[in-house]
């Protein structure tokens, strides 16, 4: 995926796109100097689609696929930031109130557990002992929180440790 430095300027983005912060949708603008067939087909239409590989919305501008949330941030605030977090973890929800500046570490803290797991976030089953292990990544290192008789007890230990993450803490 493109890095922040690859984004067009704020004025270029505003020339091509409009943004509705309430819905999170980008739309193609009418371009007076643009080809009539382009304007007839695209002007006013929703811009972007879901990337199958990333699950994020992407938009093709000048032959480059750009992450929609990064485009929106630059359109609204005029700045490139290293990372943008979707507060509700829905990568397709680009409403302005759902986007926030984050470090990579904060963005990872807000991630949901992997799909297909039956256990709560931060919990794994120790097959040898039949007990439930709780662990968390803090400061880039995995911290073992203990072994417990139930997934609920192991998850409670994870939640207590995750609370130090503040607004980026995710418990599910």
Domain boundary among 102, 122, 137: 102
pLDDT tens-place string over residues 123-153? 888 888 889 998 887 777 888 989 999 988 9
In DSSP terms, 146 is beta-bridged to: 134
Same domain for 127 and 147? yes
39-74 burial: b if 16+ Cβ within 10 Å, else e: beebeeeebbeebeeeebbbbebeeeebbbbbbbbb
Query: Residue 66 belongs to what domain range?
Result: 4-102
> E strands of the chain, at which residues?
17-20, 25-28, 49-50, 57-61, 64-67, 84-86, 99-101, 123-126, 131-138, 141-148
Is the pTM of the predicted complex or chain greater than 0.85? no
In DSSP terms, 141 is beta-bridged to: 138
pLDDT tens-place string over residues 45-81? 999 889 877 788 999 988 889 999 999 999 999 998 8
Tell me the CATH number at 62.
Answer: 3.90.75.20
Q: How many domains does the chain have?
A: 2
Tell me the CATH number at 162.
Answer: 3.30.730.10
Percent of the chain, pLDDT > 90? 35
Same domain for 90 and 155? no
């Amino acid at each position: 995926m493109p890095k922040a430095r690859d984004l067009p300027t704020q004025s270029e983005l505003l020339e091509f796109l409009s943004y509705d912060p309430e819905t999170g949708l980008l739309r193609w603008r009418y371009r007076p100097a643009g080809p009539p067939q382009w304007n007839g087909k695209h002007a006013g239409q929703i811009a972007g689609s879901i990337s199958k590989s990333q699950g994020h919305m992407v938009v093709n501008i000048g032959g480059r696929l750009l992450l929609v949330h990064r485009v929106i941030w630059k359109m609204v605030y005029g700045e490139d930031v290293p990372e943008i977090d979707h507060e509700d973890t829905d990568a397709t929800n680009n409403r302005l109130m759902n986007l926030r500046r984050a470090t990579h570490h904060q963005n990872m803290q807000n991630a949901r557990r992997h799909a297909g797991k039956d256990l709560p976030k931060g919990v794994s089953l120790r097959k040898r002992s039949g007990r439930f292990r709780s662990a968390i990544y803090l400061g880039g290192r995995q911290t073992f929180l203990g072994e417990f008789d139930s997934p609920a007890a192991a998850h409670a230990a994870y939640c207590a440790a995750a609370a130090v993450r503040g607004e980026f803490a995710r418990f599910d």
